[in-house]
Amino acid sequence: MRTVNRLILVEEQAVLAAIAIGIGVIVGIGLFVPFVALSYRRRGRLSLGRMLLWFAALVYFWAIWTYTLLPLPDPDAIRCVGMITDPLDMVRDVRKAIAAPGRTLTNPAVLQLAFNVLLFVPLGFFLRVLGGRGIIAALLVGFGLSLFIETTQLTGVWGIYPCAYRFFDVGDLITNTTGALLGSILALVVPRAHRGLAVAPDAGRPRPVTRGRRALAMLCDGIGFSLLAWTISIATQLYVGYVLDDRALMVEGELAGFVGTACAAALWLLFTLATGQSIGDFSVQLRYRGSRLPEFVARLLRWAGGVAALTAFGLLPQPFGFASGLLLLLACVLFVFTRQGRGLPGILSGQQLTDAREQRADARRQPAS
């Protein structure tokens, strides 16, 4: 029976971990483009290590909620519990565990205390390394977050349940806050230059235009365009189904897909015509320049060779719609075989890829007239 219970517990923990990772991935994809743009403006580039650290912080944020609130019990099967307000109660439990014969380290009271401390160690670590905040912030945020979690449990998830089904424990407030403090101290091993959100001294310095950077711009365009088109499509479906009350058209979804793709492509067109960059180019500080064509025409052709326009071509009636996939394939091939990966946009517009910061650096070097 004990083995079966352990297997059930392991399965529950694995499910909770999968939920946290899954939500973290979904939210991370949604925040990817703004994160890349912010990284290039604050750090001058995208660091894989720092990106993974931010992703870990995102997963950790959701893990706190999944491990402290889930699984939600059946309202008809809950057992109401009270409050543990004596901070020494956990001390007495640990002392009993030490005094009792057997394996002290596997005692539930010891494991719970250790888990409550370890659960908040990453919080203090992330606050210092990613947020640039020290011990005081770790103490305040750790205590505040722990208090919010305990209050959520005390109120039955803010009234969803008629009473608390988990104990409000003052001891948890102490151990959680201690964990955040330890995490902040542990983060001191990370060099100061790699901590915080401050703008790097060389963030505005132009850097070489590499194929990998161009690929990152294409990825940002693809993710950003897809998310925007999907969001507009969902909003259109809801409008058709619940405002126009046409459920059949809502379920069919073709109109919503057309509207979403067309609106996203139009936004990419306006942005490119206004700035000379796609949103992906803007995110990684790239710019196409040097065409013999009029600037407006060059920008229009730059858009025509990008992800948004090539995807929008799929909206055309057959056989023209079939060309969308072929053009996307051609764009990928040209990315591989053109200088710096300038690809189809560069060929159509007759432009070369440059670092967008070069223009600003040149403007600063020019003497005032």
Q: CA torsion, points 132, 135, 140, 141, in degrees to nearest 10?
A: 40
Q: Is the pLDDT higher at 75 or at 29?
A: 29
Q: How far apart are CA 51 and CA 43, in angstroms?
A: 12
- pLDDT tens digits for 316-355? 777 666 777 888 888 889 999 998 898 999 999 999 999 9
Q: Which two tokens stand for residue 195?
A: 């901590």
- pLDDT tens digits for 266-275? 999 999 999 9
Contact 121, 182 (CB under 8 A): yes
Contact 47, 39 (CB under 8 A): yes
Contact 170, 86 (CB under 8 A): yes
Q: CA torsion, points 153, 159, 160, 166, in degrees to nearest 10?
A: 20
Residue 2 confidence (pLDDT) above 60: no
Task: Say what the pLDDT of residue 1 is.
Answer: 41
Task: Say what the pLDDT of residue 101 is.
Answer: 64
Q: 61 burial class (0-12, 13-18, 19+ CB within 10 angstroms)?
A: middle
Q: How far apart are CA 277 and CA 168, in angstroms?
A: 53
Residues 298-323: what's their mean pLDDT?
Answer: 83
Q: How far apart are CA 328 and CA 318, in angstroms?
A: 16
Please state the φ and ψ torsions of residue 128, each to the nearest 5 degrees. Answer: -80, -45
Vertex 225, ends 221 and 227: CA angle to 5°?
125
pTM of the model: 0.82
Vertex 354, ends 350 and 358: CA angle to 5°?
135
Q: Which two tokens stand for residue 144?
A: 């505040």
Q: In terms of DSSP H, where are the helices of 239-306?
A: 247-252, 254-275, 279-283, 295-304
Q: How far apart are CA 267 and CA 309, in angstroms?
A: 11
Task: Say what the pLDDT of residue 320 is.
Answer: 66
Q: How far apart are CA 115 and CA 226, in angstroms?
A: 40
Q: How far apart are CA 225 and CA 32, in angstroms?
A: 12
Task: Say what the pLDDT of residue 312 is.
Answer: 85
Residues 277-295: what's their mean pLDDT?
Answer: 92
Helix (H) or strand (E) holding 84: strand 83-84
Place of tokens 């424990």: 169
> Could you write out the DSSP letters of every residue in 199-232?
PPTTTTS-----HHHHHHHHHHHHHHHHHHHHHH
- pLDDT tens digits for 219-255? 999 999 999 999 999 999 888 888 877 777 666 778 8
